Amino acid sequence: MDTPPKHGQPSFSSPAPRGSPFRRRRIIWAVLGVLAVVFFFGAPWELPASGLGNGSPVSRANIAQLAKQKVQSWQPQEVFGLLHMVTSSELEGQVLSHDIAAADPKKPMALSVYNAGKEGDWKQYVETLEKTYPVVVFSKTYCPYSRKGKALLESYNLVPAPKIVEVDLREDGDLLKLLLHRLTGRGTFPNVVLHGKSIGGSDDLQSLHAQGLLKGIFEEGGVKVTGDVPDAWTSAS
């Protein structure tokens, strides 16, 4: 016959284990953390292609390519393509193809036409052009106005010196005449171009020189005038 426990006597039993739920949670979070690291660094990193229009995902490589394309997409005015062609040592002897340009040189042409069919780095081309040949003179060897204009420019002793392009000695001279008319507004010779803009022909140069304005135009364009020529102050006195 069992003896009932006395009143107040403690009853001993095995307590429920504590801390196990917390240990399980820590283990679960640790596993999830490892999986997250493996997923992020081990799998290709891509984003949805929404808004791109080409259906390809955006990855690290794609972002770098897009940034590169953005830089390369910059293009100067077409006149700088023409100036690059006639001044670049790498393109010496190159002429415009009549098969390409003669279709209608009065309409805009791709810059690659002036660069032997290549796209090229036009930002670098323009920087080199502006530094080396900010002044380009389109001339004709037999033209008295061209000779007069070139003689005046020689008296200015410009630094950097102008690049002289004798149009009549080039096979594409007829095309250059049409292109210059469209790109600079002047199809006669000489045609003095400063930073892609025509400042006129022989008569214009003589007039600006007489007024003492020509020196200031060159100096404002970053071209040094070392010749003994009049400026606006000496002409006014």
Average pLDDT, the chain: 82
Alpha helices in the chain (DSSP H): 20-42, 60-72, 78-87, 98-101, 122-132, 144-156, 173-184, 202-210, 214-220, 232-236
Distance CA 158, CA 219 (A): 10
- pTM of the prediction? 0.69
**Could you give the CA distance from residue 191 to residue 204 in angstroms, rounded to a whole number?**
10
The pLDDT tens digits along the chain (237 residues) read: 555 555 555 444 445 555 566 667 777 777 777 666 555 555 444 444 444 445 555 565 665 565 555 555 789 999 999 999 999 999 998 898 866 644 578 899 999 999 999 999 999 999 999 999 999 999 999 999 999 999 999 999 999 999 999 999 999 999 999 999 999 999 999 999 999 999 999 999 999 999 999 999 999 999 999 999 998 776 665
Using one digit for the tens of pLDDT, what is the confidence trace for 22-63? 667 777 777 777 666 555 555 444 444 444 445 555 565 665
What's the CA angle centered on 151, arms 146 and 155, to 5 degrees?
A: 145
Domains delineated in the chain: 78-222 (3.40.30.10)
Crossing angle of helices 173-184 and 78-87, rounded to 10°: 140
> What's the pLDDT tens digit per position in 137-152?
999 999 999 999 999 9
